[in-house]
Amino acid sequence: MREFTNPPLGSARPVGGLADVVFEHAQDDPLRVAFGRKDEGGQWRDVTASEFRDEVLALAKGLLAHGVRFGDRVAIMSRTRYEWTLFDFALWTIGAQVVPIYPTSSAEQVFWTLHDAEVTAAMVEHEDHAMTVATVIDRLPQLRKLWQLDVGAVQELYEAGATIEDDVVHRHRQAVTPDSIATIIYTSGTTGRPKGCVISHGNFMFEADTVLERWEPIFHTKRGDEAITLLFLPLAHVFGRMVEVAGVRGRVKLGHQPQLSAAALLPDLAAFRPTFFLAVPYIFEKVFNAARRKAEKEGRAGPFEKAVDVAVRYADAVESKAWGIGPGPSASLRMQHQLFDKLVYSKIRGAMGGRVRHAMSGGSAMDRRLGLFFAGAGVQIYEGYGLTESTAAATANPPDRTRYGTVGQPIPGTTVHIADDGEIWLRGDNVFQGYLNNQKATDATLQDGWLATGDLGSLDEDGFLTITGRKKEILVTSGGKSVSPGQLEERVRDHPLVAQCIVVGNDRPYIAALLTLDAEAVEHWLEMRGKPRLSPAELVRDPDLETEVRRAVVAANTLVSQAESIRTFRILAHQFTEEHGLLTPSLKLKRKAVERAYAKEVEALYQAHEGGDVS
């Protein structure tokens, strides 16, 4: 199939702006709990719809008092926290445009964003961010205001706007239309300078309202209960931003968590007890690997692996029955599943707060087997696909018919087309308005209403999309063989010891790979085998570890032909990091930067590969 259109749901076209619902919800149900917010003692406290409305209004007044006007661009540089959402909706209330900046951005990245977007004011989280801005402020004559959250910026703005009348704010709000610009989100930039994606209020409203109407049933543990989610995705990323907007519009109780590490996230999931959440595959991998390591430490590795196998087979049988190609789980499989639900699966759900039965995943591809495992363990994950340019999800697996290993069908009101060269094109009201100050890139990406994504994929007979690679990442060996590295890399990363994998081989005689290790998994692996702790340099030379990692590479090679297979690999002592310019803020590999940084190691793969040859 080359094209599939999912008809719109028939909802009324959006009117007004994103902030209107804050005031409407407060009037309709002022005492409804809209947010959970951590106090200084680490306890979750409720924020009602009317309290949030009052805070948004007070902050909007303060912004006006400090000279922020309709159409001005204001930057936010912070981790995911309640105040970001407060600033978003206060700025949208007065028609300002929000420019998010990743909190880990370098001084030059901050400069480029503030300069290109002509930002006039900025809010940063703490002193380190303020110092980063300070190092480039002499090159930013248009930047007039800088507020810092942890030194009382919100209270300062409340006080500044105390004398401004409510009507002044509402006149600004009523001037906002769906075509008004809501935000300029800069792409992560795996190559070249980041580009500013211009996203309108209407783009966000279409995206959020479509997801809410089609997927709302999965937001609850059971029919009729309160919908609660914990937002831990970066709000500088379009996925996190869509969750924020949909949460507020959909009357979902929303909490914020600023740290993605398992040590910080798991306690808050247990305390906040969401009914669903949205995440990237990395989070689900962490939950699964933590459960596996715990079982191994307790001497239950065998039963755990059996539980995994039962969960996968059970979910696979349920999927087959849903598509009319199988009878469903056998009586014996149902009994085993019921036993392991008490012994294993309930504990995994407990680690996520105990109430989660559904989740959505995006940002990168999820392994089919991992999705099946979680479904068998009682947490259905709906995988989707989208870009900043499509205001997050353009496709997603529907609630009633999931097809694991795919990123689902186009969301209602959206069309997916596969071009002659395999590129995915998108059309819908979630497609952005273009790139700021870059008409050449806009013209190359938006063609007759179609968004050319740069990703490669295929549609099955039911309109389910499978991502097969990215056009710019296709490797061509010196023998002329084209290889898409993504599938190989993902399969190698399935091994718990492997943190990252990058496949190389452009203009080379064969395919090779550089791998990095997961520190937690390696520490556990050493402990379980009674080995002493090793330095990073010693680890990469450990023959037992190399043999273990080789299994991951051999498994990946079963997916492709011999000409496409990884012939040799090298384990690196340190992971690729954003701080060293090797990852984007959304954790995607900057391939050219990695190959430059490890040019000697790559060259060595082709000079001699004794001890690393997989063939």
Classify 543 as helix, strand or coil: helix
User: Strand 392-396 vs strand 409-410: parallel, antiparallel, or unpaired?
Assistant: antiparallel
Cα separation, 242 vs 97, whole angstroms: 16
Q: For the ranges 4-13, 230-239, 267-276, which has the lowest average pLDDT?
A: 4-13
Q: Mark whether 531 and 456 lie in a shared domain.
A: no
Query: Is 432 inside a domain boundary?
Result: no
Domain boundary among 415, 437, 470: 470
CATH code of the domain in which 596 resides:
3.30.300.30
Cα separation, 195 vs 116, whole angstroms: 9
Classify 483 as helix, strand or coil: strand
Q: In the chain, what percentage of residues exceed pLDDT 70?
A: 98
Query: Is 324 inside a domain boundary?
Result: yes
Query: Is 313 inside a domain boundary?
Result: yes
Query: Is 227 inside a domain boundary?
Result: no
Query: Is 595 inside a domain boundary?
Result: yes
Q: Mark whether 487 and 450 lie in a shared domain.
A: no
Query: Is 260 inside a domain boundary?
Result: no
Give the domain range for residue 588: 474-607
User: Strand 181-186 vs strand 196-200: parallel, antiparallel, or unpaired?
Assistant: antiparallel
Query: Is the separation of the CB atoms in 176 and 16 below 8 Å?
Result: yes
CATH code of the domain in which 314 resides:
2.30.38.10
Q: Mark whether 27 and 71 lie in a shared domain.
A: yes
Nearest to 52 by CA among 252, 293, 278, 304: 252
Classify 326 as helix, strand or coil: coil
Cα separation, 315 vs 376, whole angstroms: 5
Give the count of domains, the chain: 3
Residue 43's Cβ-count burial label (10 Å; 0-12, 13-18, 19+) is exposed
CATH code of the domain in which 40 resides:
3.40.50.12780
What is the chain's Cα-based Rg?
25
* Residue 393 structure tokens: 């999800």
Cα separation, 93 vs 173, whole angstroms: 5
Average predicted confidence (pLDDT) for the chain: 93
Q: Mark whether 409 and 542 lie in a shared domain.
A: no
Nearest to 408 by CA among 363, 367, 462: 462
Q: Mark whether 459 and 521 lie in a shared domain.
A: no
* Residue 576 structure tokens: 């690729």
Q: Mark whether 367 and 464 lie in a shared domain.
A: yes
At residue 608, the pLDDT reads 60
Q: Mark whether 456 and 544 lie in a shared domain.
A: no
Query: Is 482 inside a domain boundary?
Result: yes
Query: Taking the CA of residue 582 as centre, how many other CA atoms within 13 Å lie in the half-sphere pointing to its CB?
Result: 14
The pLDDT tens digits of the residues spanning 338-387 come to 999 999 999 999 989 999 999 999 988 888 999 999 999 999 999 999 99
Query: Is the separation of the CB atoms in 396 and 478 below 8 Å?
Result: no
Query: Is the separation of the CB atoms in 595 and 114 below 8 Å?
Result: no
The pLDDT tens digits of the residues spanning 392-440 come to 999 999 998 899 999 999 999 999 999 999 999 999 999 999 999 999 9
Q: What size, in residues, is the chain? A: 615
Q: Mark whether 320 and 375 lie in a shared domain.
A: yes
Cα separation, 578 vs 72, whole angstroms: 30
Q: Mark whether 399 and 513 lie in a shared domain.
A: no
Q: What's phi and psi for 97, nearest 5 deg?
A: -110, 130
Q: Mark whether 487 and 594 lie in a shared domain.
A: yes
Q: Mark whether 412 and 321 lie in a shared domain.
A: yes
Query: Is the separation of the CB atoms in 573 and 537 below 8 Å?
Result: yes
Q: Mark whether 23 and 159 lie in a shared domain.
A: yes
- CA dihedral defined by 150, 153, 154, 157, rounded to 10 degrees? 170
* Residue 186 structure tokens: 């800069």
The pLDDT tens digits of the residues spanning 244-295 come to 999 999 999 999 999 877 778 889 999 999 999 999 888 898 889 889 999 9
pTM: 0.89
Which residues, other chains included, contact 386 with Cβ-Cβ below 8 Å and sequence gap of 6+? 238, 239, 362, 392, 393, 394, 395, 430
Pick the residue with more confidence: 156 or 468? 156
